[in-house]
Amino acid sequence: MGTGDRRRSGKMGRLARPQTLLSQTERALREAIAKGRFPGNKLPTAAELAEELGVSRETVRQAQEALQREGLLVKYRRKGTLLQPPPMKVRPVPARSTQLGYLQADYPSPHGDEAVTRSTSGLMLQGAMREAGRAGHELVVRHAPYTEMDRVIGQLSTASPLRGVIFASFGEEKLVRQALDHGWPAVLLDHDLHLPRISSVREDSFQGARIAVEHLASLGHRRIAYAHWRLAELNPWRVMGYRRGLREARLPLRRVWELSAEITPEGAEALVGQVLALEPRPTALLCFNNTLAHLAIDRFRRRKVRVPEELSVMGGGGESVAGLTCHQADWYAMGRAAVEILLRAIASRGKREPEHRMFPYAVQAGRTTAPPPPMASK
């Protein structure tokens, strides 16, 4: 309709509407993203952006949510709002490639308790190498602190024509998805993560702690304490198994008997002090792993506490300690199983349902547990 026609019809043209503050905020963020103005690909906080743009925090939050829906931003818990990396191009893997990635996460810390996974990771790696070699494949092994796994994945994506990857003792969702974006089948070893398309192999920590309590109860212990690693959130199943074992044995469950410890000599010293200060004192102590149990026994004996005559101590698996009563899983077989599952996933070209294998623990009798003293068993 021409100008003259509009005048004759009496209709007016549509007025241009001013942009709302929300629209302007979205546009400002898009332009800043396009120009690379956010160092480290991380956005400032909502409060900082609101101050800079002269709008409310709620307006910034709504603008960020709109950009999230468009796929420009992604929010991570405790990490803030980051730019979403562009979709990765999947490089075709040469059919002759026989390389499998094996990413072992280490947990170095100022506390020095990085030995938490050292002994078990060595056994799992040996099993994985044995199975890969038997099947005519080669493991490309990378050790790195768990905080640097994204860098390691980036290096492997450009340097090695991998057929698949095993994440050992680690499973951050973002990085596992990154491996899938590369087209690599993946298996979690010694870890679990509820993601489709991801297979897992891990030990049954819940069952292990439960049968450990069962063993101590069968000796007559009625006051059993548990010492878990200070990073208990990495393995919540053990304390759950400990609690279940107490309920099944109809023993008292006291949260003050659930102690936290660093797996270091200093941590063991502090743990022993906590145990000896409890009233009534436990007659048995189940430790997160064998390393902590070994350290604790040494500290108890320095304080003239006889093990096991006055106090029984049991380890939760890991390194081999002569004479220690503990429960152990078959870590070597777990490494082999991870490779077997990965190779089946590669052969199926993604058509196979993910597999999940759980390896049980078994009690290994030693010299550090015994029936409690007669008066203490009451």
Q: Domains along the chain?
A: 22-83 (1.10.10.10), 99-203+332-359 (3.40.50.2300), 205-328 (3.40.50.2300)
Give the integer Cα–Cα distance in Å for 269 and 296: 7
201's tokens: 């192999």
Range with the lowest mean pLDDT among 23-27, 184-188, 244-248? 23-27
pLDDT at residue 91 greater than cutoff 70: no
pLDDT at residue 272 greater than cutoff 80: yes
pLDDT at residue 14 greater than cutoff 60: no
Identify the pLDDT of residue 155.
Answer: 75
The torsion region of residue 132 among left (phi > 0), alpha (psi -120 to 50) and beta comes to: alpha
Of 44-48, 283-287, 341-345, 356-360, which has the strongest mean pLDDT?
283-287
Residue that wins the pLDDT comparison between 312 and 152: 312
The torsion region of residue 16 among left (phi > 0), alpha (psi -120 to 50) and beta comes to: beta
Report the pLDDT averaged over residues 23-33.
78
Report the pLDDT averaged over residues 267-292.
95
**Nearest Cα to 185, choosing from 58, 345, 19?**
345
Whether 288 and 261 have beta carbons less than 8 Å apart is answered as yes
Report the pLDDT averaged over residues 137-152.
76
Identify the pLDDT of residue 21.
Answer: 81
pLDDT at residue 307 greater than cutoff 90: yes
- Report pTM: 0.68
What mean pLDDT, rounded, does the chain reach?
81
pLDDT at residue 20 greater than cutoff 80: no
Identify the pLDDT of residue 360.
Answer: 95
Give the integer Cα–Cα distance in Å for 314 and 297: 10
Identify the pLDDT of residue 152.
Answer: 74
**Nearest Cα to 167, choosing from 152, 187, 148?**
187
